[in-house]
Amino acid sequence: MGSYIVMDKWSTEESLNLVDDYIEHYAAPPAGNSEIGKIIRYAASSRGKMLRPRLLILAGMYGPEYENRHEKLCRLGALLELIHMSSLIHDDIIDDAPLRRGKETVQAKFGKDVAVYTGDFLLARVLCGLAKEERDGREAEYAEAIETVCLGEIEQDISRFSSDMSIERYLAIIRGKTATLFKLAAGAGATATKCDKEIIDRLENIGELLGMLFQARDDLLDYIGDEKLAGKAVQTDFKQGIYTMPLLFALEDHETAEKLRKMLEENKKCQSNTVTEKAISLVRKSCGIERTKALMQSYIGKIREMISELPRNPAGNKILAIVEGLADV
Ligand code: GRG
């Protein structure tokens, strides 16, 4: 495996500022109708943690063409973040969510119909950006990733309220709906800077594990987190019939399983706050929280090991810093 000196020429923040500029460029509203412009600007202006473009750029640092391809990495990061934003806009419609990134959601502010079209508009801009500006033979991978995310969401939706959801099936769902974009981020960054195939594969695996870790954390925060810190509503999964890791582990705990199964039956018939509160409190007292944390630790261990097997590169510690940030729950 080749190893070469990597100049830390741009700080991650500098790169992400450029990603921001490209998001504005790709999502620029069409001239003419100021009302439409206002909606699109609102939708495209809220910023989250930018984890996916961050990972894309860090993966790109492993390639020999990093310096020449820095602008391209930032453009791809912007396009990937726009795919993510479009998925969040759609997700908030489905969940009837009032808040995202600490701000009113597009659906709460402008209505569900406008939100559907706005999410689609942003996705169309991504397709246009890929087709016109980034023609590098990888366009289909973006489309396939969107397809996989959608399949994960469809499977999750048709499994709502199912009391026989297995841990394996749930892991397959989150691999699709969440880990896919992280895997794409790492693969797109590493490919754009011409990493060797072996390095691309390893970075993709790291990306996928990071996505799994991220979703396990998100699931945990829904049970033990705080709305202010999360920037969105918490304690929503159970009532919506989305049975995630902490609950699935709690169902394997004989102390709580029987009571919890009765609550699942009640929840299927009628979604009340009372049964939701009882179920959340039971999950908190069960092994569900500790086992979810243990699963997260196992992902973290694997990611550490895989980073240590990559050529030495300042990006390695930066990826580890993201991982450590996610470990803190
Ligand atoms: C249009 C691509 C597309 C998909 C439509 C609705 C849907 C199908 C997909 C939703 C996928 C989804 C919301 C997965 C959950 C991933 C998740 C926990 C996202 C939150 O990501 P953060 O915390 O968000 O990185 P920020 O706000 O920081 O960017």
Strand partners, 103: 100
pLDDT at 329: 84
pLDDT at 186: 98
Both tokens assigned to 145: 């990733």
pTM of the prediction? 0.95
Q: Is the CB of 83 under 6 A from ligand 1?
A: yes
Among 3-7, 192-196, 241-245, 261-265, the minimum mean pLDDT is found in: 3-7
Q: Are 128 and 79 in contact (CB under 8 A)?
A: no
Mean of the pLDDT values across residues 198-227? 96
Higher pLDDT, 6 or 40: 40
DSSP assignment of 19-34 equals HHHHHHHHTPPPSS-H
Please report which confidence band the pLDDT of residue 4 belongs to, taking 50, 70 and 90 as the band edges.
low
Q: Are 8 and 314 in contact (CB under 8 A)?
A: yes
* Helix (H) / strand (E) containing 103: strand 103-104
CA distance 189 to 191: 6
User: 120: which residues sit within 8 A by CB, 6+ positions away?
Assistant: 86
Q: Is the CB of 87 under 6 A from ligand 1?
A: yes
Mean of the pLDDT values across residues 107-118? 98
Mean of the pLDDT values across residues 164-180? 97
User: 10: which residues sit within 8 A by CB, 6+ positions away?
Assistant: 70
Please report which confidence band the pLDDT of residue 6 belongs to, taking 50, 70 and 90 as the band edges.
low
CA 204 / ligand 1 centre spacing (Å): 19
Which stretches within 106-138 are classed as H helix? 106-110, 112-132
Summarize pLDDT for 277-312 with one digit per residue, the tens: 999 999 999 999 999 999 999 999 999 999 999 999
CA 86 / ligand 1 centre spacing (Å): 8
Which stretches within the chain are classed as H helix? 12-26, 34-45, 51-60, 70-95, 106-110, 112-132, 139-158, 167-174, 180-192, 197-224, 227-230, 245-250, 254-269, 273-285, 288-308, 314-327
